[in-house]
């Protein structure tokens, strides 16, 4: 099992924030104590989640109003026990950024 889950996409505005709140909700409902975060490969700092994705989340009873984008960094990669990416190119980029994270 893992304690720290990191979800990555490009901008940390749509896919990874939605996946983050969905995973956090599902894990909490199943009684698992897992900390979930998200980040983006080319993310700006502190942008809110895209308005459309906030509406999609709200339609499923999930709240993205507090989300603020963050770029991936080596410290966040060290923190994570499991890293989920949206695309194969994301994985390749992460392995260049933090080669020691291979296998996460």
CATH of 4-101, one of 3.40.50.150, 3.30.497.10, 3.40.50.300, 3.40.50.2300: 3.40.50.2300
The helix/strand count (H/E) of the chain reads as 4, 3
Q: For residue 77, count other CB atoms closer than 10 A to its CB.
A: 20
Q: Sketch the domain layout of the chain as residue ranges.
A: 4-101
Can you give the pTM of this predicted structure? Answer: 0.94
- Cα–Cα nearest to 103, from 90, 91, 93: 91
Q: For residue 69, count other CB atoms closer than 10 A to its CB.
A: 20
What is the rounded end-to-end Cα distance, in angstroms, of the chain?
Answer: 12
48-77 tens-digit pLDDT: 999 999 999 999 999 999 999 999 998 999
Mean pLDDT across the chain, nearest whole number? 96
């Amino acid at each position: 099992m893992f304690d720290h889950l990191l979800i990555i996409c490009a901008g940390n505005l749509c896919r990874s924030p939605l996946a983050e709140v969905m995973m956090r909700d599902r894990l909490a409902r199943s009684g698992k104590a897992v900390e979930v975060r998200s980040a983006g490969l080319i993310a700006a700092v502190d942008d809110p989640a895209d308005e459309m994705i906030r509406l999609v989340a709200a339609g499923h009873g999930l709240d993205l109003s507090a989300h603020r984008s963050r770029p991936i960094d080596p410290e966040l990669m060290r923190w994570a026990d499991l890293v989920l990416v949206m695309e194969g190119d994301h994985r390749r980029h992460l392995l260049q950024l933090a080669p020691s994270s291979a296998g996460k």
